[in-house]
């Protein structure tokens, strides 16, 4: 675990390339904050099962040892895969009280990694959530951090790097993923407190880490009205980007706009005198009316007809590629759909979709190619066919999502052209909601 591994690096290159194909966009920010020659503990929030550790592994230059939930190691295939990625199991009470004693060995192994000036990563919350918020932090991060420094008389210079992981969508492929690294900090300042009162040092450290992670994520405090805040976040994003002077399509700009929107919304509703239920009811009435017509308020963003026509031409030209990729990938699609149905926790959907595509997909494509070779008798063409399959199926998947987006854009354009009064009424309702948020967010600034 402490030594550089060629096998780990090769696996990283392979899975990272597929990761970029799985997501429409995959970006990271703050990588400059990662210390290069010091022991590091990465402490990310936990949003999306197995995709979270991969997001950390693929966005930092270190061969990071990841501590993750032990129950995932029960599957023999996953055990081999996780071990190859230098992952170690962490046991929880739900794994059985007897199993908790195994954590001492895992934590000792983690300290050895840190003493070798390498890096480990573990989720400070210890469990994932389907909400854009940070749960209460557990003791694992401070326990390992203080254990490592105590064994080295607080001279290890261990660095804690908080990380925020943001998904546009937890379930589907071809969406957006943003990894946000924060500034590293040392636990040296807690040395005296730890020697006097370890539990108090743990508590203060967790409070500090919690604040650092919240700076890097979308944190919605008001769970009672969570869905309304989510609607506001998406609805107001473009307007907020304009107000903040954020031009371009980088994910860090959308993230910054969303974070500011939630901050101002909670200031207005949660900590202010305004009633979020009033706004939420108004938004829902409009949204429900649009839903009956097959629309959403989010569909009425600025729509450039030139780009829509160009995208439509891309769809027409790419139709043969889509059909080729779809037909050859039908077995993969059926297998994924049937497997996903058996999973109760939706936070695992994208993880298993990715795993099936990365591990089972090549096997299916190889079988297709062997059949092609047996029929054609030409091994060279069979090889070309094999190479084309992952490219075509990936393009077919992206084509499908592009088709959905362009279809909605044309529906909006046709509504505007043939039912202008109805379109104007929708736009008026939309502008009324936007003006209300403008008033709530910026009148007091």
- Range of weakest confidence among 134-143, 341-350, 361-370, 374-383: 341-350
Q: What local confidence, expressed as pLDDT, does residue 104 receive?
A: 85
What average pLDDT does the segment 105-113 reach? 91
Identify whether residues 155 and 238 lie together within a single domain. no
Q: Report the domain count for the chain.
A: 3
53 and 140 in a single domain? The answer is: yes
CATH number at residue 55: 3.40.1130.10
Query: Residue 354 belongs to what domain range?
Result: 305-427
Q: Which residue has the higher pLDDT, 79 or 403?
A: 403
232 with 339, same domain: the answer is no
The pLDDT score that the predictor gives to residue 94 is 67
| Position 89 pLDDT exceeds 70 | yes
Average pLDDT, the chain: 91
- Give the mean pLDDT of 195-224: 96
Q: Give yes or no: residues 210 and 257 share one domain.
A: no
Mean pLDDT of 272-301: 92
Q: Is the pLDDT of residue 101 over 80?
A: no
In a domain, 10, yes or no: yes
The residue with greater pLDDT, 61 or 273, is 61
For residues 244 and 111, state if they share a domain.
Answer: no
Residue 52 lies in a domain: yes
Q: Which domain-ending residue is among 196, 214, 232?
A: 214
Identify whether residues 262 and 368 lie together within a single domain.
no
Q: Do 38 and 175 share a structural domain?
A: yes
Is residue 245 assigned to a domain? yes
**Domain contains 49:** yes
Percent of the chain with pLDDT over 70: 96
Three-class SS of the chain = CCCCCHHHHHHHHHHHHHHHHHCCEEEEECHHHCCCCCCEEEEECCCCCCHHHHHHHCCCCCCCEEEEEHHHHHCHHHHHHHHHCCEEEECCHHHCHHHHHHHHHHHHHHHHHHHCCCEEEECCCCCCCCCCCCCCCCCHHHHHHHHHHHHCCCCCCCEEEEEEEEECCCCCCCCEEEEEECCCEECHHHHHHHHHCHHHHHHHHHHHHHHHHHCCCCCCCCHHHHHHHHHHHHHCHHHHHHHCCCCCCCHHHHHHHHHHHHHHHHHHCCCCCCCHHHHHHHHHHHHHHHHHCCCCHHHHCCCCHHHHHHHHHHHHHHHHHHHHHHHHCHHHHHHHHHHHHCCCCHHHHHHHHHHHHHHHHHHHHHHHHHHHHHHHCCHHHHHHHHHHHHHHHHHHHHHHHHHHHHHHHHHHHHHHHHCHHHHHHHHHHHHHHHHHHHHHHHCCC
86 and 227 belong to one structural domain: no
116-161 confidence digits (pLDDT tens)? 999 999 999 988 888 999 999 999 999 999 999 999 999 999 999 9
- Do both 47 and 187 map to the same domain? yes
Per the model's pLDDT, the better-predicted residue between 75 and 24 turns out to be 24
Averaged over 53-79, what is the pLDDT? 83
Mean pLDDT of the 171-193 span:
94
Q: Please determine, for residue 80, whether its predicted confidence score (pLDDT) is greater than 80.
A: no
Average of per-residue pLDDT across 315-330: 95
User: Percentage of residues in the chain with pLDDT exceeding 90?
Assistant: 74
Domain match, 119 and 93 both: yes
Task: Please check whether residues 310 and 167 belong to one and the same domain.
Answer: no
Say yes or no to pLDDT of 20 above 60.
yes
**Confidence at 97, pLDDT banded by 50, 70, 90:** low
197 in a domain, yes or no?
yes
- Domain end call among 170, 197, 214: 214
Average pLDDT over residues 62-80: 78
One domain, residues 240 and 310: no
Query: Considering the domain boundaries, does residue 277 fall inside one?
Result: no
């Amino acid at each position: 675990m402490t030594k550089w591994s060629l096998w780990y690096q090769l696996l990283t290159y392979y899975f990272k390339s597929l990761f970029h194909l799985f997501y429409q966009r995959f970006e990271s920010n703050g990588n400059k904050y990662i210390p290069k020659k010091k022991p590091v503990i990465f402490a990310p929030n936990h949003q999306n099962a197995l995709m979270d550790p991969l997001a950390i592994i693929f966005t930092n230059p270190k061969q990071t040892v990841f501590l993750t939930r032990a129950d995932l190691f029960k599957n023999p295939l996953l055990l081999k895969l996780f071990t190859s990625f230098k992952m170690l199991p962490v046991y929880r009470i739900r794994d059985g009280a007897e199993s908790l004693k195994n954590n001492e060995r895992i934590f000792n192994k983690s300290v050895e990694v840190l003493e070798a000036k390498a890096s480990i990563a573990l989720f400070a919350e210890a469990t994932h959530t389907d909400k854009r918020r940070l749960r209460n932090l557990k003791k694992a991060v401070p326990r390992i951090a203080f254990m490592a420094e105590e064994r080295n008389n607080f001279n290890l210079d261990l660095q804690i790097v908080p990380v925020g992981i943001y998904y546009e969508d937890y379930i589907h492929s071809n969406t957006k993923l943003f990894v946000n690294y924060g500034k590293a900090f040392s636990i040296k300042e807690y040395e005296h407190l730890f020697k006097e009162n370890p539990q108090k040092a743990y508590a203060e450290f967790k409070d500090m880490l919690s604040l650092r992670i919240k700076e890097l994520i979308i944190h919605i405090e008001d769970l009672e009205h969570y869905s309304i805040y989510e609607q506001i976040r998406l609805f107001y994003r473009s307007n907020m980007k304009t107000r903040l002077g954020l031009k371009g399509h980088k994910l860090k700009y959308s993230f910054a706009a969303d974070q500011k929107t939630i901050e101002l919304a909670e200031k207005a509703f949660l900590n202010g005198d305004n009633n979020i239920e009033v706004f939420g009811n108004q938004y829902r009435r409009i949204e429900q009316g649009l839903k009956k017509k097959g629309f959403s308020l989010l569909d009425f963003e600025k729509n450039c007809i030139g780009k829509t026509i160009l995208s439509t031409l891309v769809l027409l030209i790419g139709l043969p590629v889509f059909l080729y990729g779809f037909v050859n990938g039908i077995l993969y699609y059926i297998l994924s759909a049937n497997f996903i149905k058996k999973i109760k926790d939706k936070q695992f959907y994208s993880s298993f979709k990715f795993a099936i595509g990365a591990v089972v997909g090549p096997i299916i494509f190889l079988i297709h190619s062997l059949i092609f070779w047996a029929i054609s008798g030409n091994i060279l063409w069979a090889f070309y066919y094999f190479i084309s399959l992952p490219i075509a199926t990936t393009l077919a998947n992206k084509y499908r999502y592009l088709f959905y987006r362009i279809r909605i854009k044309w529906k909006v354009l046709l509504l505007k052209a043939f039912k202008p009064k109805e379109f104007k009424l929708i736009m008026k309702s939309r502008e009324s909601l936007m003006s209300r948020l403008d008033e709530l967010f910026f009148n007091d600034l």
